[in-house]
Amino acid sequence: MANVTVLGTGFAALTAVRALRAADKDIEITVIAPEPELVYLPSLIWLPSGQRKPDDIVVPLDDFFRRNRVQFLQGMAEMLEDGGRSVKTADRAVRNDGLIIGTGGRFIKKLPGIEHALTPCEGVAPVMRFKEKLEAMDGGTLAFGFSGNPKEPTAMRGGPMFEFLFGTEEMLRKQGRREKFDLVFFSPASKPGMRLGEKVVPKLLARMEKRGITTHLGHKMVRFENNKVVTEGGEFRADLILFMPGMTGNAWLDNTDLPRSPGGLVRADGHCRVPGFERVYVAGDAGSFEGPDWMPKQAHMADLQATAAARNLIGELNGQPARHTFRVELFCIVDDNSTGALVARTPRITFSLPPMGLGHLSKDWFERRYLKRYR
């Protein structure tokens, strides 16, 4: 009986598990990850307002693994041996007949003084620190920004920063505290959010202007200080900073011979296979995939890649060539805690809808529907 090892418990890894089990009822599946839990990252934006609590979006996976007959091994991959047929952790070597890498990416933390900024998509802890600090403030300047990986155009996650920005502004307004705070949005890009579509960016900037949010755009980042953001185009005061750096590959990949992209991610072909490695696949933020430079690093894209990877791997184990590919598409709802603006992009079309209450309700509904399969 074949055994497949899946690395991670994020969107890509868990979708791969479901696709593997759907394709083969008997295959042995082993998951290696630090904790048997899924953090539903899209709902981090609702923690500051109290619309979600950590327990609402951190889902234990013990029952999911039991239902799908998955062996969970707690640990972290540290290196690969025998062409990917063996995954080494700190205390064991795990053999496999096929491997799917879904360990996500790592935010680049090279900017001087970056310890003064909170990176929200790192998980629940930094968002809760933001919530606690904001609640303790009587006023001041709040800074929200993101940057990319110059060597990997797709290795960035800017969408959530628009949501934290608009969500915080809306929350302060409802609390009656908005006039006590200045909000600044910053980015080294002169037109941040271009991956959402060229026509979407002016709408986002106009929305900021309407809400009294200052922008500082188009200037290379220099450093952060305790209460300051410094760029080549000037500096501004910031009493609390939320910043999303560009992404690269996880550190453990440096201990492997896996082919890497210029930005440090694992190279993949159109079938999610890692070139030069037999029955080794990658999906989600860990991978560098062929496609347009607006290809998003988001849960939906990870799901599509993981499904293709799992189906192709099962095919290979059964002596069939890889034939499944994945669609490239971007679907997101830019939420502000009460309304949501839909943005959709495919190779053929790009469109957006204005903020509506229905958008917020749809995002809430989708979260509950998505997590139901893992609870």
Under DSSP, is residue 205 helix (H, G, I), strand (E, B) or coil? helix
Taking each helix axis from N to C end, the angle separating 11-23 and 299-317, rounded to the nearest 10 degrees, works out to 40
Both 141 and 242 in one domain: the answer is: yes
Residue 74 identity? Q
pLDDT at 338: 97
Domain membership flag for residue 308: yes
Token pair, residue 59, equals 């889902």
Q: Which residues contact 88 (CB under 8 A, 6 or more apart)?
A: 77, 78, 79, 80, 81, 94
HEC string of 269-308 equals CCCCECCCCCCEEECHHHEECCCCCCCCCCHHHHHHHHHH
What total number of domains does the chain contain? Answer: 2
Domain membership flag for residue 343: no
Task: Quote the pTM value.
Answer: 0.96
Last residue of a domain, one of 317, 352, 368: 317
Residue 3 has pLDDT above 90, yes or no: yes
Both 138 and 240 in one domain: the answer is: yes
Look up the domain containing 206 and give its range: 110-246
pLDDT at 323: 95
pLDDT at 285: 96
Domain membership flag for residue 180: yes
CATH of the domain at 89: 3.50.50.60
Both 116 and 229 in one domain: the answer is: yes
* Nearest-5° Cα angle at 261, 257 to 263: 120
Residue that has been written with the tokens 């981090």 in this structure: 44
Q: What does residue 153 show for φ and ψ, rounded to 5 degrees?
A: -55, -35
Last residue of a domain, one of 199, 228, 246: 246
C-alpha to C-alpha distances, 79 to 69, 96, 253, 305, 308, nearest whole angstrom: 26, 14, 7, 23, 24
Domain membership flag for residue 313: yes
Residue 25 has pLDDT above 90, yes or no: yes
pLDDT at 1: 84
Q: Give the burial string for 150-184 (b: 16+ CB within 10 Å, else e).
A: eebbbbbbbbbbbbbbbbbbbbbeeeeebeebbbb
In total, the chain counts a number of residues equal to 375
pLDDT at 138: 97
Q: Give the burial string for 48-78 (b: 16+ CB within 10 Å, else e).
A: bbebbeeeebebebeebbeebebebeebbbe
Kindly report, residue by residue over 268-278, the tens digit of the pLDDT.
999 999 999 99
pLDDT at 154: 87
Both 242 and 268 in one domain: the answer is: no
Contact 160, 121 (CB under 8 A): yes
Q: What does residue 33 show for φ and ψ, rounded to 5 degrees?
A: -160, 160
Residue 162 has pLDDT above 90, yes or no: yes
Contact 33, 14 (CB under 8 A): no
Alpha-carbon distance of 86 to 195, in angstroms, equals 37
Highest-scoring range by mean pLDDT, 95-99, 194-198, 318-322: 95-99
SS3 of the chain: helix, strand, coil, percent, to 5: 35, 30, 40
The pLDDT of 359-370, averaged and rounded, is 97
Poorest-pLDDT segment among 87-91, 153-157, 298-302, 350-354: 153-157
Token pair, residue 332, equals 């997101």
Domain membership flag for residue 335: no
Could you tell me the pLDDT band of residue 153, with boundaries at 50, 70 and 90? confident
Both 285 and 221 in one domain: the answer is: no
The pLDDT of 174-190, averaged and rounded, is 97
Alpha-carbon distance of 228 to 244, in angstroms, equals 16
Where does residue 309 rank: exposed (0-12), middle (13-18), buried (19+ CB within 10 A)?
buried
The pLDDT of 294-301, averaged and rounded, is 94
Kindly report, residue by residue over 102-146, the tens digit of the pLDDT.
999 999 999 999 999 999 999 999 999 999 999 999 999 999 999
The pLDDT of 249-273, averaged and rounded, is 97
Question: Average pLDDT of the chain?
Answer: 96
Kindly report, residue by residue over 7-24, the tens digit of the pLDDT.
999 999 999 999 999 999
Kindly report, residue by residue over 306-340, the tens digit of the pLDDT.
999 999 999 999 999 999 999 999 999 999 999 99
pLDDT at 100: 98
